[in-house]
Amino acid sequence: MTTTDSAFPGPVDYLDQRTGLGSAIKTFARKIFPDHWSFLLGEIALYSFVVLLISGVFLAMFFVPSMNETVYHGAWASMQGVTMSEAFKSTLDLSFEVRGGLLMRQIHHWAALIFMAAIVTHMMRVFFTGAFRKPREVNWVVGFVLMILGLAAGFSGYSLPDDVLSGNGLRIADGVTLSLPIIGSYMSYFIFGGQFPGTQLIPRLFTVHVLLVPGLILALVGLHLFFVVLHKHTQYPGSGRTDKNVVGFPLFPIYVAKAGGFFFIVFGVIALMAALFTINPVWDYGPFDPSPVSAGAQPDWYMLFLEGALRLTPGQLEVVIAGFTIPLNVIIPAMIVPGLLFTALAAYPFIEAYATGDKREHHVLDRPRNAPVRTASGVALLTTFLVLILAGSNDIIATQFQLSINDITSVFRVLLFVGPAVAFWITKRACLALQRKDRELVLHGHETGSIVRFASGEYIEVHKPLNEHERWLRVGYEAHRPIAIAPAEDSRGVRRKGYRRDRLRQRVSQFFYEDRVEPVTPTELAAAQSHGAHDAIAQAPDALPQVESQPVGGGQHLVTPNAQVTPDERNL
């Protein structure tokens, strides 16, 4: 084959013959992606990770990961003659003597905070829209692991400058490690290469921070994105969008420009923050020394929930059994509570699939109101984290608002249990109310503000029916019902096997779907329009069809409208 009769110019032809580039271009260049602002959250996470890689490579050129002691004689006057580790000294040097180094350090730290924030909000978007449903459960787990790795990357990097603030963070990490039953003291030696603080930790953290964790993150980001391409992106509900299609714009040129441009916007915003806002001024804190500590010390925001859990747990929980100390006042907040919260988060898609019994693929997202228990569960989980995060700042709250730290802590102890329950209840009720508002709007249309007087003297307001696109957005969802199970005994009164398991599943399913609002059906709409007769003014009000007297649907009737639904169905 010669190149002259090919559609490809020389270099592309060369590559295609060796890589099959042509097929890849044909498959991917015009691949369709849906458009929505909330899809950018994941992009922010990806792009801030790229910014972390770029700025991290820069910093690694100048940082010395060593705990050997040295005396500072650099540019920063207030640290002259202070004994410090080489890690701390090189941090000062790369901030003050490498031109642009301080900017890169600030970019790196801000990008890390934004990276975690973007991961968390992206996860919230995926959760509240049900994007984790089949076939994306595995990718949810991949994303979950990425979040955990993000925490590991953040904590290991935060500790590298070997300043007194992060040093006390490591001291806390050591205290938590020591609390582990049986192996605690050995795990502490494992991490620190002996007693705290030792001389091994910074080099070890450096390897974890620049090689191990980012390597894993890169690999899993690759897997995460591979799944996105394989599954094709989810889309928000709307006219023309189904579980069988994907509606949007082609990768080339629209997303090359939009997503490519967005990288520069994300980087630009991080650069602006780095230019204007000081972050982690280690030159004010000073090098690590086991003795000093500053009041009002806070970890980076993504570690605050752990800090808050540690602050809230009362000390009485520490017990001694047969001479062995079990510090439950540390184990519970630092391991059991986060363990439970994170397990619940990772397992949620599987729990919901179990309750739903739904085996179909879902590519159209849910509006959060149309999944009240899911939305409420998510808000409850977030409330738990929020209470813990606030508790992690209880000293700041106390000084800013002139309150007693003891009172604040006691209030948070109660709120940790009450807050999520109240949040769950309010959110679920709000979702159901929004669904009823949707029903109301579909059945009665928009208020127009024009009042009509009948010959009989009655006044009514004319309502304008929704157009089919407006209507579809509000009726095109599915209200899951609790799963039906076979009865405990067959026709001859013999108890069947597996009934108890089925019953448990039904209970879970009832928790999820017992309270629900069904979408308006065409029959209901027809009935509502004929009884209201607002648009057919000629019809006399007393000639209403019989159907009117039935409690069909209106938002204010808290009933499932369709009277002929399956017998197992329960009303609100």
Least distance to other proteins, CB of residue 5, Å: 31
Least distance to other proteins, CB of residue 150, Å: 23
Q: Are 443 and 528 in contact (CB under 8 A)?
A: yes
Q: How many CB atoms lie under 10 A from the CB of residue 240? A: 9
Q: Please say which residue, 197 or 349, places its beta carbon nearer to other proteins.
A: 197
Phi-psi region of 100 (alpha: psi -120 to 50; beta: other; left: phi over 0): left
Least distance to other proteins, CB of residue 425, Å: 26
Q: Please say which residue, 30 or 429, places its beta carbon nearer to other proteins.
A: 30
Least distance to other proteins, CB of residue 525, Å: 6
Q: Please say which residue, 244 or 453, places its beta carbon nearer to other proteins.
A: 244
Least distance to other proteins, CB of residue 518, Å: 10
3-class secondary structure, 69: strand
3-state secondary structure 356-405: HCCCCCCCECCCHHHCHHHHHHHHHHHHHHHHHHHHCCHHHHHHHHCCCH
Q: Please say which residue, 95 or 280, places its beta carbon nearer to other proteins.
A: 95
3-class secondary structure, 235: strand
Peptide bond into 292 cis (omega under 30): no
Least distance to other proteins, CB of residue 500, Å: 17
Least distance to other proteins, CB of residue 538, Å: 15
Q: Please say which residue, 123 or 520, places its beta carbon nearer to other proteins.
A: 520
Least distance to other proteins, CB of residue 200, Å: 8
Report the relative pairing of strands 69-71 and 83-85 from DSSP bridges: antiparallel
Q: Please say which residue, 133 or 427, places its beta carbon nearer to other proteins.
A: 133
Report the relative pairing of strands 459-464 and 446-453 from DSSP bridges: antiparallel
What is the torsional sign of CA 536, 539, 541, 542?
negative
Q: Are 144 and 263 in contact (CB under 8 A)?
A: no
Q: How far is CA 460 from CA 65, 184, 449, 525, in A?
A: 78, 75, 10, 19
Dihedral pair phi/psi, residue 425, rounded to 5°: -65, -50
Q: How far is CA 529 from CA 104, 434, 537, in A?
A: 64, 21, 11
Q: Please say which residue, 8 or 262, places its beta carbon nearer to other proteins.
A: 262
Helix (H) or strand (E) holding 451: strand 446-453
Least distance to other proteins, CB of residue 499, Å: 14
Least distance to other proteins, CB of residue 503, Å: 14
Q: Please say which residue, 205 or 525, places its beta carbon nearer to other proteins.
A: 525
Q: Please say which residue, 102 or 430, places its beta carbon nearer to other proteins.
A: 102
Least distance to other proteins, CB of residue 476, Å: 6
What is the torsional sign of CA 70, 76, 80, 82?
negative
Q: Are 216 and 224 in contact (CB under 8 A)?
A: no
Helix (H) or strand (E) holding 70: strand 69-71
d(CA 469, CA 458): 32
Which neighbouring-strand residues pair with 83? 71
Query: How is residue 151 written in tokens?
Result: 């925490």
Q: Please say which residue, 22 or 357, places its beta carbon nearer to other proteins.
A: 357
Least distance to other proteins, CB of residue 506, Å: 10
Q: Please say which residue, 19 or 200, places its beta carbon nearer to other proteins.
A: 200
d(CA 552, CA 558): 10
Q: Please say which residue, 126 or 483, places its beta carbon nearer to other proteins.
A: 483
